[in-house]
Amino acid sequence: METKLQLIFTLCTLISITVFRVVGGSVQLEINGSVSEFDEFTWIFNESVSVLKYYKKYKDVTLSPRYKHRVEFNMETCSLILKNLQKTDSGLYKVKASNALQTTILCVHRLSVSDPVEAPVLTLSNSADPCNSTLTCRGHDLSVSSMCSYRTCEEKEVTSPGGVALSLSVRDSTIICNHSNPVSWKQENITFTHLFAHTGTHTHTHTVV
Ligand SMILES: *[C@@H]1O[C@H](CO)[C@@H](O)[C@H](O)[C@H]1NC(C)=O
Ligand SMILES: *[C@@H]1O[C@H](CO)[C@@H](O)[C@H](O)[C@H]1NC(C)=O
Ligand SMILES: *[C@@H]1O[C@H](CO)[C@@H](O)[C@H](O)[C@H]1NC(C)=O
Ligand SMILES: *[C@@H]1O[C@H](CO)[C@@H](O)[C@H](O)[C@H]1NC(C)=O
Ligand SMILES: *[C@@H]1O[C@H](CO)[C@@H](O)[C@H](O)[C@H]1NC(C)=O
């Protein structure tokens, strides 16, 4: 029994899909199985933290104090809505379901909660030579630099392991820097006309708040 449970736990971890949410947001987690087959359900976070216990026969729901005021539970479907998400809610959620004959794990999802990205900042250097200027876009710990002239800019993109990306692209006559992560994006843009309007002056910084 122990070994079989262990195996199911491992399988769940392998096949789980990651759900991305922003800090303060909410998520609905569904069970993967039939509610009618079981008598008792326990939502478990990160293998060991009990979120909620449900005894179907008595319609008895016991909520862990850690989750007070931010959980909604549906007795029909056994789905769990977690509200006011914090980064510490990131991890694996699953349900242990049992009846008189067996205890099994109904696989669920991995949750990843992150802050929205900061707005990127565009900076032009070497603007003395409009035929050869460098436009740099920074966002948190990423940055991209492109060679730009009156009409063109190299398009570039960098990504970091957490799914954070920073890209410089040109659309119509606008240079767009896009800072994104799996839950949000913010852009900063500048037109070529604007960019080279101050040719000869010092470094030009343009920020939209
Ligand atoms: C939950 O587990 C994840 C790894 O799956 C870990 O990164 C995270 O820190 C854990 N969270 C808590 C609150 O223990
Ligand atoms: C749900 O269960 C089905 C079959 O039992 C399985 O194929 C599927 O991968 C499971 N999905 C998740 C998210 O655990
Ligand atoms: C543009 O400027 C960089 C450094 O300022 C220099 O290395 C490069 O050769 C210049 N390119 C052209 C086409 O002038
Ligand atoms: C920025 O990137 C995100 C994620 O790739 C995308 O959904 C969004 O449309 C982009 N925004 C702009 C202005 O290109
Ligand atoms: C440029 O930024 C402004 C202000 O954020 C936005 O309203 C506009 O749609 C952007 N333009 C493009 C082409 O993305």
pLDDT at 200: 47
Ligand 3 atom 9: residue of nearest CA: 132
What's the full length of the chain, in residues?
Answer: 209
The CA 132 to ligand 3 mean position distance, Å, reads 6
Best probe residue, ligand 4, of 142, 158, 180 (max atoms within 8 Å of C-beta): 180
The residues near 26 (Cβ < 8 Å, ≥ 6 apart) are: 81, 82, 83, 84, 85
Residues 99 and 142 in one domain: no
Across 102-109, average pLDDT: 84
Tell me the mean pLDDT in the region 20-45: 92
Per-residue pLDDT reduced to its tens digit, 144-202: 999 887 778 899 999 998 889 999 999 988 999 999 999 999 999 988 888 777 554 44
Residues touching ligand 3 (Cβ under 6 Å) are 126, 132
Looking at the fold, whether 72 and 154 belong to one and the same domain comes out as no
Q: Which atom of ligand 2 is nearest to the CA of 32?
A: 1
Identify whether residues 109 and 9 lie together within a single domain: yes
Q: What is the mean pLDDT of residues 109-118?
A: 93
pLDDT value of residue 127: 61
User: Which of 62, 97, 114 lies at the terminal end of a domain, its last residue?
Assistant: 114
What CATH number does residue 63 fall under?
2.60.40.10
Residue range of the domain that includes 81? 2-114
Q: Tokens at residue 104, please? A: 């099994």
Tell the residue nearest (CA) to atom 10 of ligand 5. Answer: 189
Q: Are 14 and 105 in a shared domain?
A: yes
Say yes or no: 17 and 65 in one domain: yes
Ligand 3 center to 87 CA (angstroms): 44
- Total structural domains in the chain? 2
Residues 179 and 133 in one domain: yes
d(CA 197, CA 200): 9
pTM of the model: 0.75
Number of Cβ atoms within 10 Å of the Cβ of 122: 22
Average pLDDT across the chain, whole number: 85
| Chosen domain end from 74, 95, 114 | 114
Same domain, 152 and 180: yes
Q: Are residues 64 and 146 in the same domain?
A: no
The residue behind tokens 């729901």 is 61
Residues 51, 80 contacting (CB under 8 angstroms) = yes
Confirm or reject: Cβ of 91 under 6 Å from ligand 1: yes
Do residues 78 and 161 both lie within one domain? no
- The kind and range of the H/E element at 142 are strand 142-148
The answer to whether the CB of 86 is under 6 A from ligand 1 is no
- Burial label for 101, CB within 10 Å (0-12, 13-18, 19+), is exposed
Residues 14 and 107 in one domain: yes
Ligand 5 neighbours (beta carbon < 6 A):
171, 174, 176, 189, 208
Q: Are 188 and 85 in the same domain?
A: no
Domain boundary among 114, 138, 154: 114
Same domain, 97 and 132: no
Closest residue CA from atom 13 of ligand 1:
88
